[in-house]
């Protein structure tokens, strides 16, 4: 900086005409001062990590950093926070509208080979989003980028987390993004800055309003339908701090982490109003909320409601929960086309439905996952025999010519003596399904408590 001469401003402007951007590094220390900011035109300002390390420790630092970010927004400069190592520091910067955040919280130093691989995966994700964003505004297109990370054990090969995927989607699409644990209350773990702007709240205000559950942000009259609607596209009202309702459109996708944990990622756009077309779509979706419109099987929420009813009506009765997942279904869609994928889904749904008793509950949880509840049966050996027959029928019936292989499924199941809730049964079966998937797929696993 000291070497800058009187022609520095002209030189900066000349370079900027070629698309060059200028960043003021380590702001608040050394030569990186308000005087430098006043004399020259910068595009980005990086807040020195010495400030980051004192966040939450020194109130004066908190106020200084808030003022720096606000000042930059007023004069048209974007901000970068460096040295972020904790979730608390990350929340502080997101809460105050810092555009870019870097630090060990995201990635630790890594060998060059691993870094190159990571860059390629990040680049592929951005290319997918850019490509699909340019050809169509569809939910499936947006979330193919997220699927890229969850396929082929990408989570295991890098430190990429669902929050980072959500961050990438939000930055590239310019929409509010939220994500969290895929449980009964839709636990909220990530909120993007654009979503905060949508609600007109700070991060801490949103977390206080929702108490950790995204459902608490949804208008009470819309929550039941939100839970019953397993479609990727949803219309509903969010509630602001003052009680005002704003109509939004959501695209939601479910992913699974390397630890087998189910999470959800949603992009949320504000609508001017729920127009007549949207209202008609809502009415149609309400009518179809109990059953999946494609396979005619039960949707998630009505499935669990019926399971709970059966458990309550016959406490202590033996039962079994089973989860089915079509192996490599994304590959089938990508290489054979969505028409073939739809035909496979319908065929597998029909085989699973016909493989069980008339009184057993059969549902589809969106995508290529199916669930079955058997009341009055917890005979593991009998169930294994039935599963082997089901898997064989799928193999014999469904063959993919372009891939030169048969369709296969992975299955996880949990038997209970009647002292488990529907949620506990599902979570146990889900763990068994995950074990089947990482064991090579095309198999079944039973959940056995450790």
Angle, CA 326 vertex, CA 410 and CA 262 arms, to 5°: 80
pLDDT of residue 64: 93
Poorest-confidence range of 46-50, 262-266, 345-349, 430-434?
262-266
- pLDDT tens readout for residues 74-127: 888 999 999 998 888 888 888 888 888 888 887 777 787 777 766 665 554 454
**DSSP letters along 7-63, please?**
THHHHHHHHHTTT---EEEEETSTT-SHHHHHHS--SEEEEPHHHHTTTTT-HHHHH
pLDDT at 370 over 70: yes
pTM above 0.85, yes or no: no
pLDDT of residue 157: 39
Q: Is 309 exposed, middle or buried (0-12, 13-18, 19+ CB in 10 A)?
A: exposed
pLDDT at 151 over 60: no
Q: Are 329 and 344 in contact (CB under 8 A)?
A: yes
SS (H, E, C) 53-108: CCCCCCHHHHHHHHHHHHHHHHCCCEEEECCCCCHHHHHHHHHCCCCEECCCCCCC
Mean pLDDT of 6-25: 80
Q: Are 271 and 249 in contact (CB under 8 A)?
A: yes
pLDDT at 277 over 70: no
**How many residues belong to the chain?**
450
pLDDT of residue 160: 46
pLDDT of residue 409: 94
pLDDT of residue 141: 40
CA distance linking residue 436 with residue 450, whole number of Å: 17
pLDDT of residue 280: 59
């Amino acid at each position: 900086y000291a070497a800058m001469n009187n022609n520095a401003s002209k030189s900066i402007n000349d370079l900027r005409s070629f698309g060059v951007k200028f960043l003021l590094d380590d702001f608040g220390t050394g030569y990186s001062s308000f005087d430098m900011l006043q004399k020259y035109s910068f595009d980005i300002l990086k807040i020195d990590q010495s400030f980051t390390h004192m966040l939450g420790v020194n109130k004066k630092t908190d106020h200084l950093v808030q003022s720096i970010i606000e000042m930059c927004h007023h004069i048209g400069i974007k901000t970068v926070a460096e040295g972020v190592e904790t979730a608390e520091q990350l929340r502080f910067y997101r809460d105050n509208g810092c555009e870019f955040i870097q630090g060990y919280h995201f990635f630790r130093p890594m060998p060059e080979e691993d870094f190159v691989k990571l860059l390629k995966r990040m680049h592929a994700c951005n290319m997918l989003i850019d490509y699909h964003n340019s050809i169509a505004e569809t939910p499936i297109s947006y979330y193919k980028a997220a699927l890229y990370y969850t396929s082929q054990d990408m989570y295991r090969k890098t430190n990429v987390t669902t929050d980072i995927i959500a961050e990438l989607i939000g930055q590239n699409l310019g929409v509010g993004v939220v994500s969290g644990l895929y449980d009964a209350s839709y636990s909220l773990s990530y909120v993007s800055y654009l979503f905060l702007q949508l609600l007109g709240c700070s991060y801490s205000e949103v977390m206080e309003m929702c108490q950790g559950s995204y459902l608490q942000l949804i208008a009470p009259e819309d929550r039941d339908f939100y839970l019953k609607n397993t479609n990727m596209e949803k219309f509903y009202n969010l509630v602001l701090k003052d009680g005002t309702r704003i109509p939004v459109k959501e695209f939601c996708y479910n992913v699974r982490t390397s630890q087998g944990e189910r999470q959800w990622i949603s992009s949320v756009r504000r609508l001017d109003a729920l127009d007549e077309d949207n209202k008609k779509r809502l009415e149609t979706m309400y009518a179809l909320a109990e059953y999946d419109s494609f396979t005619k099987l039960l949707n998630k929420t009505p499935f669990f409601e019926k399971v709970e009813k059966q458990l309550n009506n016959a406490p202590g009765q033996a039962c079994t929960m089973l989860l089915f997942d079509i192996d490599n279904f994304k590959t089938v869609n990508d290489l054979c086309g969505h028409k073939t994928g739809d035909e496979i889904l319908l065929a597998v749904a029909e085989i699973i439905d016909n493989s069980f008793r008339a009184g057993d509950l059969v549902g589809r949880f969106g995508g290529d996952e199916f669930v079955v509840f058997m009341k009055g049966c917890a005979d593991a050996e009998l169930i294994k025999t039935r599963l082997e027959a089901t898997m064989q029928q799928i193999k014999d019936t469904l063959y993919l010519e372009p891939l030169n292989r048969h369709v296969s499924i992975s299955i996880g199941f949990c038997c209970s003596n009647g002292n488990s809730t529907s949620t506990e049964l599902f979570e146990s079966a889900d763990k068994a399904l995950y074990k089947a998937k990482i064991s090579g797929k095309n198999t079944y696993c039973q959940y056995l408590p450790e």
